[in-house]
A = this chain, B = another copy of it.
């Protein structure tokens, strides 16, 4: 189905894209503000450094979009970089890829249930929300890393 039984528009595809990219702009600022060494080595409670959390976000974007557009679920084979500038370059590549690929999502796929990567059974909208939510979750962890390093992160509400 491609229309709501009640006909209510909650959010359009274009608005969901802008919500995602707004979060990604904020996450980019968090990457930028990290001291280069801390980005790759600092952690709390035995958790992963922020660069590894960021690579998780980077590796999710295109594979999820490809899956929702084509039904083909293929994991990313990107190699983890070792410098902030390289990490930001990968980030910006994904930004452009998302903008380029987004209009190709067949409208019915937002509601169609698929099994992403042979494992995650959910409608397309839930898969996109999962990617966004996962980014917010890990970025929030990056905020704690920054605060404990004495660095003030950008305000959460600025996108």
Q: Which residues of A contact B (CB under 8 A)?
A: 1-13, 15-16, 19, 23, 44-47, 107, 110-111, 120, 123, 125-126, 129-130, 132-134, 136-141, 143-150, 156-157
With beta carbons under 8 angstroms apart, the residue of B44, B130, B140 that contacts A137 is: B140
Q: How distant is the Cα of A8 from the Cα of B2 in the complex, in angstroms?
A: 5
Q: List 14 A-B pairs, Cβ < 8 Å.
A: A2-B9, A3-B7, A3-B9, A4-B9, A4-B12, A5-B12, A8-B13, A8-B107, A8-B110, A19-B126, A44-B147, A46-B147, A130-B157, A138-B140
Chain B residue with Cβ nearest A10: B110
**Given A6-B107, A44-B44, A156-B137: A11 and B144 within 8 A (CB)?**
no
Contacts of A148 in B (CB 8 A): 44-45
